Structure formats: structure tokens, C-alpha cells
Amino acid sequence: MKDVMRLPPELQPTNRRVEAFSDAVFAIAVTIMVLEIRVPDTLAFASDMAALEDFATLLAIYVLSFVVVGILWANHHYLVFTLPTSDRATIWLNNHVLFWVTMVPVVARFFGQHPTSPRATAAYAYVIMMCTFALTLLRRHAARVTENEVHRALHHRVFRRAWVAMALYAAAIPIAFMNIRISWALLLILPALFFLPVIRLQAAKDEVHRAMEHSRP
């Protein structure tokens, strides 16, 4: 990596296109899921509780997947922002993230149509775990190449949380075959954790300020 950084600037494109390509893949992954969500025709003029229940389940799993992809995108957004140039490692670690993001619609459909299947629940947990893992690999690269101590401190802070999330998603896989309700609970609670902003923001700020004091002595 260090060697790549020494190439002349005319061989170092910025991250603009990595961002544009990623934004498009995230946007398509989140949007093509709705192609599967059809309001059942039987609901147009009559009450069909079974059809309504299937539709509500599919919709709920779409909402969950939308939130998960939204969290991944928000993390990706801040992460790529800290990367100065798009070297070869960045591009392929990023493509690795995008690959797992495109798998989300595949498992969301399977899970949405078979919500009581332990295998479907496990497959869904596995793909979200791999998305988080791929993003963590990209973040490790970002933490290594950056020369900005504030960014590095933030990356290290997020690592800890990411490993906790991955461990819980990994746990949800075998748990799905033992007690599927606990597995569902994990899939629901993990994104919700992301939305506890106050504590995290305060902690992040303290850490950032500490890092800033260290880097500007």
C-alpha cells in the first residue's frame, strides 16, 4: 500500500467513481427488493387473512433489510470519506463489500417467503454478518493507509462494535436451528442498537477530542 501511495498523482484517481459505483449498487440492492413485494390480488376487494399475513411478513423483512442496507451505506459513506485515493486494494475490498450487499435481496426474498424456516433465518444472518465483515476489512485498510489520527481513532472505535455485531450475527446462525425466536430477536435488535445515538456520539466525541489533543501537541 505504502508503495502505491508513492506513485505520481497522475496515476492516482480519487474515490469519486468508487463512491458513485457503490452508491448505485447500494441503491439498486435496496430498490430491487420491492420488485418482490406484491400486494396480493385477493386483497383488492376481499379480506384474505392468510394473504395479508404473508404480505405483512414480506413487508416487515423488507423494512428490516432497508434499515440494514441503510446502516451499511451510512457506514460506507463515512468510511470512504476517510480514504484519500482509490488504490487497487480499496477497489477490491470495496467490490467485496458490494458483492455481499447484492446478496441481501437474495436472502431477504428467501427469508420473506419462508420466515419460519431455520435455514432461511440462518442464511439471512449469514449474509448480514458477511456484509459487516467485508466492511470491516475495508475499514482495516482505511485505518492502515490514513495519516489522519482523528479518522484512525474513529475507525478503531467502530472495530470493537463491528466485532460484537459480527459475533451476535454468527450466534444467530446456529440459534436459528435451536430456538428460531431468539434468532429473530437478534436480527431485530442488532440494527436497533445502531440507533442509540446519544451515548455513542458523546463517547465518540470524547475519543476524538483525546485523539486531537494527541495529534496536535
Q: How far is the CB of 37 from a second copy (least distance, A)?
A: 5
Q: Which of residues 101 and 167 has its CB atom nearest to a second copy in the complex?
A: 101
In whole angstroms, what is the distance from residue 65 CA to residue 106 CA? 11
Q: How far is the CB of 4 from a second copy (least distance, A)?
A: 8
Contact indicator for 67, 111 with CB cutoff of 8 Å? no
Q: How far is the CB of 93 from a second copy (least distance, A)?
A: 11
Q: Which of residues 10 and 160 has its CB atom nearest to a second copy in the complex?
A: 10
Q: How far is the CB of 46 from a second copy (least distance, A)?
A: 9
Q: Which of residues 77 and 167 has its CB atom nearest to a second copy in the complex?
A: 77
Binding residues for a second copy, rule: CB under 8 A, are 3-4, 7-8, 10-11, 13, 16-21, 23-32, 34-35, 37-39, 41, 43-45, 63, 66, 70, 73-74, 77-78, 81, 86, 88, 91-92, 95, 98-99, 102-103, 105-107, 109-110, 113-114, 117, 119-120, 123, 148, 150-151, 154, 197, 201, 205, 208, 212
HEC sequence for 16-35 = HHHHHHHHHHHHHHHHHHHH
Residue 86 grid cell: 482509490
Q: Which of residues 21 and 159 has its CB atom nearest to a second copy in the complex?
A: 21
127-131 long-range Cβ contacts below 8 angstroms, 24+ apart? 127/100, 127/103, 128/68, 128/104, 128/169, 128/187, 128/190, 129/166, 129/169, 129/170, 129/173, 130/100, 130/103, 131/68, 131/72, 131/97, 131/100, 131/101, 131/103, 131/104
Q: How far is the CB of 163 from a second copy (least distance, A)?
A: 22
Contact indicator for 104, 131 with CB cutoff of 8 Å? yes
Q: Which of residues 63 and 164 has its CB atom nearest to a second copy in the complex?
A: 63
Residue 122 grid cell: 440462518
